Structure 1
Amino acid sequence: MSPDVPSPDGPDATGPQQWEQMLRAMLGPAADDAIREMRAMGVDPAALAAGSGLPTDPVALQQALGQVQRMLATSGDEPVNWEMAHDLARQQAAAGGDPTLSPGRVKEVSDALSVAELWLDAATELPPAAGTAHAWSRAEWVEATLPTWRTLTEPVAASLSAALADALGPAIGELGEGLPGGLPPGLPPGMADPAQLLRGLGSAVFGLQVGQAAGTLAREVFGTTDIGLPLLERPSPALVAANVDAFAEGLDVPVEEVRLYLALREAAANRLFAHVPWLRAHLLDAVAEYARGIAIDVDQLEDAVSSIDPSDPAALQEALSGGVFAPQTTPAQQAALARLEHALALVEGWVDEVATTAATPHLPHTVPLREMVRRRRAAGGPAEQTFASLVGLELRPRRLRDAATVWAHLTATRGTAGRDAVWEHPDLVPTPADLDDPQGYDARREAAVDESADLDRALAQILDDAAGAGGAAPDGDEGTPGTPAG
């Protein structure tokens, strides 16, 4: 061996020195104590690294440790690392280009939304939403909708992070207790407490997942409502111009006609969410109810984690996207998801019926456009699949066609005003039984009214009987003053 080349086992060996530098970068002042304890136990840091599957290249290792440190340092106490989610969503939205809209493009979208509102006046009794119409780039869609993604995902993320900490925190604590002197003192904030460490990891994972999904959706959605959930707290119709044009490119329909049909759907959905005050809370509450029941299958989690190659970022991302942290689904959660799916179907079925009714007199290709949108929604996209694999939550109305049939039946039997009046109370909207048998909607409502009337009469009779029993004594047995009758 050349004297200029340090011996792999010597004190100047590059591998161990680099590993000691990595440990110092990660552990800070506690690194020296940790290294001494490892050597006293006969553990070589470089050999430990090789056996763990971590990268042996010092540069790659430095990058990996730096990423872990940044992830944990920026997670804080939030269940989702929103800084990470925001940055990744913007990055994904800009993939392939996302230019600022020219005044001409803005006018095209604004004109389409204005025309849509005029046509909808003849198809629904619900007035336009009060918010200003928008023409957005993909980046603008991300900025406008991230607050609702926060509302949607934080209940799930918080429950899942807590479940992870409860499931794996004790094991990590035992690992630290098994080391001489326990975990080294002076660890950076967030790394000494196993539960906090796991919550930080969960926050980072959810930040990646939400950012990836929101950014991917930004390249697919047409507006603020076409995933079924209202993504603006205050309803306001908007179209993502680039996505509308991209959708029209694959159709044998003029882009102007496609833009008008999608504007009708967007404006109709915003009218619904603006004037049915209980609807948005009903949808988001179903998500929160699902989140409250989250539990983790520890054995499944350990099997999944052991199969990940930490030196391969692509494999790590694929594992996370494939549901490494997917929770078990309890019967209560399945019921909450069923309610959510049913509500999504009712919303999209109503939008489908109203928008098509408004479009038919004006757009020659209304029927094929309606079918294309239905198929696109039923198939779902990669971003929707990402959310489904992460938390078991599918934002997909499986019974959209059945719901549209119910709304068409109510239009035929009650007229536009009668159909829209059904949204006045959750008890009036179509049930799963109505989706199975639209023709029986009225009969089922009448039966429910009769049953309620019978219950009211029975309660009134009970109260009357109770009042009679506590009143005057029967004839011939009036009793004496101050003495109970009978």
Structure 2
Amino acid sequence: MTDDDSPDRSGDDEFQELLRNLLGGGAAGFDPAQLEGLSRMGVDPAMLQQIMAQLQHAFTSGGGAADGIDWSAAKTQALHLANKDGLSITTGTKHDFDQAFSLATLWLSEATTISDLAAPPQAITRGQWVEQTLPVWQELAEPVADSIAGALTSALDEQTPEEMRQLVAGAGTFMRRVGGSLFAAQLGGVIGRLSLEVVSGGDVGIPVMPDGVAAILPQNFADFSRDLDVTDDQLALYLGTRELAHARLFRHARWLRLHVISQVTEFARGIHVDTGALEELASRFDPSSPEELKAAIESGALLPQRTPAQDAALTRLENLLATIEGWVDVVTSDATGRLPAAAKIAEAVRRRRAVGGPAEQAMASLVGLELRPRRLREAAAMWRAVTDAVGIEARDSLWDYPDLMPAAEDIDDPQALIARLQARARGEEPARDAFDEALDELLAQAAQDPADAAGPGATNTPAAPEDPGSPENPGTPEDPRPV
């Protein structure tokens, strides 16, 4: 070894020793003084010190979960953004919204047969919204976080040279924690920004609030009303009525929450990270400028194009969200008919849901899913036609059981749904469908030949009764009856 080679070799040895301590022994075996020697490699020690501190936290925390994703990072980041303005709700503001909710409850009871909430509605802060909705966001994003964490683990295994395999042996769990923690931090940022936009608990269309809880965020209410030429009391009454209708529906149809969440997670489980894009990004990644990696995750550049199965799942979800919000739209319209500005506010709400704010668009990029009820107007027209034809009670009864809920074809042709409801009101049997025919065929086959169900060799000949025996039948027990 020459003197010229010595510095490079020393730096390489120090870097490998640093990796061994970090990946093998965790934070306990890590000596920050080693960073000083890395300056010979062109690495800023202060910058690397910060990166290693974050990686050590990901390595040691584990997040309290088996997969090692530290979701506390999402909560910390979200609350930091939600509470940065330090705004609270004054007593006067809370009183104003309590009055609006009370009147909205009375009006809503005239427009639907679905019962009132058990808990009173609330005026909450942005931070309280984050606290109450974070468990649902975590559940929705977890499949994507797993995919990113798994992709990093695979990339580590595939890209590591053979001579380095022993050095990074057992680092798979570490990489999952790094990837999961990085995604969780990005998710927290999106949720925090979303808390600056949402006006009510049901504003995003899915049941993110706890069951039976209705809420309005006064801090964002002012921003929403600023763009409308309507009085605050009218806007509060309309938004309060809409929020109560949304919360009532999910409390009444308790199966509906699971139905929505399962369809969202079904879509998310089909998401896989584009490993080619990940490897390309890694090849030019500059640790001193991590903005490109952050932008790639936030923009969705690491998520590939949707598969046909995902497109089908997304269509089902959009129809479901449109069916829910179409009912909310019609019920709210009927309940707020006394408000002069009701039609103007309703149109603003529909457009807002159709476009979405910047944070909702960021959420779509992060998890690859837009929570847009694209067929909201068509679904609302269906519910209006049903209401006019069969009345409020028959309309709301469609939420009693999952198999009664309108399907996508009912949005296309409301008259078929109306005909079924009218026939049911007359006591007529519902029209038979393909499922009924298939079930009857199976039952007929089972009843036609029970021997098939008994297995091979079975016959239809009834078994002869056992002979108790008699004196005339030798070889059998004698008849025990007295003579």
The TM tier, using the shorter chain, reads 0.7 to 0.9
Say whether residues 1:68 and 2:55 are aligned partners.
yes
- Does the aligned pair in 2 maintain the 1:131–1:234 contact within 8 Å? no
Letter aligned with residue 329 of structure 1: R
Q: Are 2:301 and 1:356 equivalent residues in the alignment?
A: no
Specify which of 53, 77, 82 is matched with residue 71 of structure 2. Answer: 82
The DSSP-based 3-state class of the residue aligned with 2:254 is coil
Distance in 2, Cα, partners of 1:441 & 1:283:
22
Deviation at 1:211, TM superposition (A): 0.5
CA shift for structure 1 position 305 = 3.3
SS state at 2:216 partner: strand
1:151-190 correspondence to structure 2 within 5 Å: 151-165=139-153, 167-172=154-159, 174-175=160-161, 177-179=162-164, 182-183=166-167
Question: Residue 259 of structure 2: which of 279, 282, 286 is its match?
Answer: 282
1 CA distance for matches of 2:302 and 2:351?
A: 30
1:302 deviates by 1.2
Amino acid aligned to 1:61: L
Shift of 1:128: 1.2
Q: Is the 8 A contact 1:305 1:324 kept in 2?
A: no
1:193 counterpart residue number: 170
When normalised by structure 1's length, the TM-score is: 0.79
Is residue 228–residue 395 contact of structure 1 (8 Å, CA) maintained in 2? yes
What residue is the counterpart of 1:53 in the other structure?
A: none
- d(CA) in 1 for partners of 2:148, 2:419: 44
Question: Of the candidates 374, 396, 407, which is equivalent to residue 372 of structure 2?
Answer: 396
CA–CA separation in structure 1 for the residues paired with 2:176 and 2:439: 52
1:260-409 to structure 2, matched below 5 A, reads 260-326=237-303, 329-360=306-337, 362-409=338-385
Please give the per-residue CA displacement for 1:405-447, whole angstroms capped at 9, x wherever unaligned.
Answer: 1111110111011111111222222222222222333357879
Distance 1:440-1:98 versus aligned 2 partners, 3 A rule: farther
Inter-CA distance 29–81: structure 2 relative to 1 (3 Å threshold)? closer
Cα distance, 1:158 vs structure 2 = 2.9
- What TM-score do the two structures reach when normalised by structure 2? 0.80
Residues 1:94 and 2:68 aligned together: no
Partner deviation per Cα, 1:250-275 (whole Å, 9 max, x = no partner): 11001111111111111000000000
Deviations 1:49-108 (A, max 9, x none): 54xxxxx4433332233233334433444564222111110111134x132211111111
Tell me how far 1:109 sits from its aligned partner.
Answer: 1.5
For residue 431 of structure 2, give the secondary structure of its aligned residue in structure 1. Answer: helix
Residue 198 of structure 2 is aligned to residue 218 of structure 1:
no
- Structure 1 stretch displaced more, 323-332 or 456-465: 456-465
Q: Report the Cα offset of residue 218 of structure 1.
A: 0.8
- Aligned-pair RMSD on alpha carbons? 3.6
- In 1: Cα distance, 2:441 partner to 2:245 partner: 44
State, as a whole percentage, how many aligned pairs show the same letter: 38
Structure 1 position 210, deviation (Å): 1.8
Residue by residue, what CA displacement relative to the aligned partner does 1:203-234 show, whole Å, maximum 9, x if unpaired? 11221122112111111111211111111232
Q: Structure 2: how far apart are the matches of 1:444 and 1:257?
A: 38
Alignment of 1:463-478 (within 5 A): 465-466=448-449
Shift of 1:479: 9.4
Whole-angstrom CA distance in 2 between matches of 1:269 and 1:246 = 22
Indicate conservation of the 8 Å contact 1:142/1:214, yes or no. Answer: yes
One of 55, 69, 91 as aligned partner of 1:103: 91
Structure 2 contact 68–173 (Cα < 8 Å) conserved? no
